[in-house]
Structure 1
Amino acid sequence: MSDLRFQPMSEALLDGVMEIEQSAFSHPWSRALYLDGLKSYDCWVMFEGERQVGHGVIQVIIDEAHLLNITVRPDCQGRGLGLSLLEHLMRRAYARNARECFLEVRASNQHAYRLYERYGFNEIGRRRDYYPAAGGREDALVMACTLLE
């Protein structure tokens, strides 16, 4: 894991982003959503050596950040890459003057929930029927964290 590097997401990297996104989620973001995000959000790709292994998207408005997406290639999960990516995104948000970060996570996604808790996020609410799910909708848990230098 010592060969990690982060690169701003670009249209040229979207094929790899979409491959990871589609392999990781039952309801992935669309290519069009990423193209829009490149114009408005802070979008990053994580590499291990030359291999694209993850990506993340944050939005910063004044002093608040919103973690919109964080994804690690399924065959690379369980090795601390998610935490490395989250730390990078939170440093970026802090550098852009965000002092608090919010996110939503599927109620069923306990791996992500534990990752966010490990970083310092706390659950502050629930959004009913927020996510599409097989056979209906799923709640989102809302989490927040104070960002520190």
Structure 2
Amino acid sequence: MNAVLAAQVEVLPLRHGDIDEMLAVEQRIYPFPWTRGNFVDSIAAGYSVWGCRLAAELIGYFVVMLAVDEAHLLNLSVSEKWQGAGFGAHLLRHAIASARRAGATVLLLEVRPSNARALALYQHFGFQQIGVRRGYYAAEAGREDALVLQHILEEVSA
């Protein structure tokens, strides 16, 4: 993301009024998107839900669940027209910082092995694979495994 664009971007907490925009992004980029209920439940449960906006447009968002000293990145998504422009990294930096501020020492996530772009982003930030969840994701031909990744938050991030 170039410096001019970065200066115009805001990362703000998202609320119930933002769910329609999150759903629109989800439904455009995923064959098996989160539902309205997933977002409603995440916000109601007090999860850390933040969005990246350029002017009024929602570029992307993340959802982090905190439990004691662990954080779990449940969703990190960037609108298709802004993918590859650095917004995923921008949001991931904020997610990591948010987890640290909340006292987490580790950030966990699941990612599809077929999602090469996301996997590369997470590896760039120092996430390491610690496991596999068999048949975790719905897929066109049945189920797809999830790679379980972790990032130790005491380490310096990219």
With normalisation by structure 2, the TM-score equals 0.91
Q: What residue ranges of structure 1 are gaps of 5+ in the alignment?
A: none
Identify the match of residue 121 of structure 1 among 127, 145, 152: 127
Quick check: 1:47 aligned with 2:47? no
SS in structure 2 at match of 1:13: helix
Which residue number in structure 2 is paired with residue 88 of structure 1? 94
Which residue number in structure 2 is paired with residue 14 of structure 1? 19
* Distance in 1 (alpha carbons) for counterparts of 2:80 and 2:24: 11
Identity of aligned residues (%): 37
Moved over 6 A (4+): none
Deviation (angstroms), 1:49: 2.3
Which residue number in structure 1 is paired with residue 34 of structure 2? 29
Quick check: 1:59 aligned with 2:65? yes
**RMSD over aligned Cα, in angstroms?**
1.0
What are the superposed Cα offsets for residues 77-125 of structure 1, whole Å, 9 maximum, x if unpaired? 0011000000001101100000101100011001000000011101111
What are the superposed Cα offsets for residues 32-88 of structure 1, whole Å, 9 maximum, x if unpaired? 110010012111111022211001100111111000000000110001100000000
With normalisation by structure 1, the TM-score equals 0.97
Q: What residue ranges of structure 2 are gaps of 5+ in the alignment?
A: none
SS in structure 2 at match of 1:29: coil
SS in structure 2 at match of 1:22: helix
Identify the match of residue 80 of structure 2 among 74, 88, 99: 74
